[in-house]
């Protein structure tokens, strides 16, 4: 919320904060689990030799890729801010290359929420804001998108 603290106008307060859902880490988690399964099978069921070393090497490679994928997604999560204030909706993405979008609440016509079946079960989805003469790109993987929409539309 450091960015939001810098740009709030006098008398403006934060009504709701949006956050990215943990599902972003799912790819890295599944890859790490696959690596551990391959390593366990290679260690327990394969005879020592080239095939076992190749399987262990593959497991190690998958684990390294999973680690970098996790770190990459973690950086996205900690550098993304979604906020609804008493006056506007603010989206901030990035750290080194910063991208911000703001829309005044009185310029918003509608707010769409799209959730897949998995998104409904796990509580995440995409929110698209339609303004007068403008439409934002969807805000994907937003945790509790219905509450975020409600914070926008009830103002």
Q: pLDDT tens digits for 28-66?
A: 999 999 999 999 998 887 777 888 889 999 999 999 999
With bands split at pLDDT 50, 70 and 90, how would you rate the model's confidence at 155? Answer: low
Global pTM?
0.84
Please say if the pLDDT value at position 133 is more than 90: no
The mean pLDDT value for 67-89 works out to 96
Cβ atoms of 141 and 24 closer than 8 Å: yes
Cβ atoms of 126 and 113 closer than 8 Å: yes
* pLDDT in the model for residue 51: 84
* Helix, strand, or coil (residue 54): helix
The mean pLDDT value for 89-96 works out to 92
Please say if the pLDDT value at position 134 is more than 70: yes
């Amino acid at each position: 919320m450091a960015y939001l603290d810098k740009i709030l106008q006098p008398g403006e307060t934060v009504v709701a904060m949006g956050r990215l859902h943990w599902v972003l880490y799912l790819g890295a988690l599944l890859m790490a689990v696959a690596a551990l399964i391959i390593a366990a099978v290679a260690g327990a069921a394969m005879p020592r030799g080239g095939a076992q070393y190749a399987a262990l090497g593959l497991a190690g490679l998958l684990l390294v890729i999973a680690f970098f994928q996790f770190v990459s997604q973690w950086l996205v999560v900690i550098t993304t801010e979604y906020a609804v204030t008493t006056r506007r909706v603010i989206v901030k993405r990035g750290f080194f290359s910063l991208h911000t979008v703001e829309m005044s609440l009185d310029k918003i016509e509608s707010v769409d929420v799209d959730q897949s079946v998995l998104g409904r079960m796990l509580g995440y989805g995409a929110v698209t804001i339609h303004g007068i003469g403008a439409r934002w790109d969807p805000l994907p993987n937003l945790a509790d998108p219905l509450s975020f929409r409600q914070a926008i539309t009830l103002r």
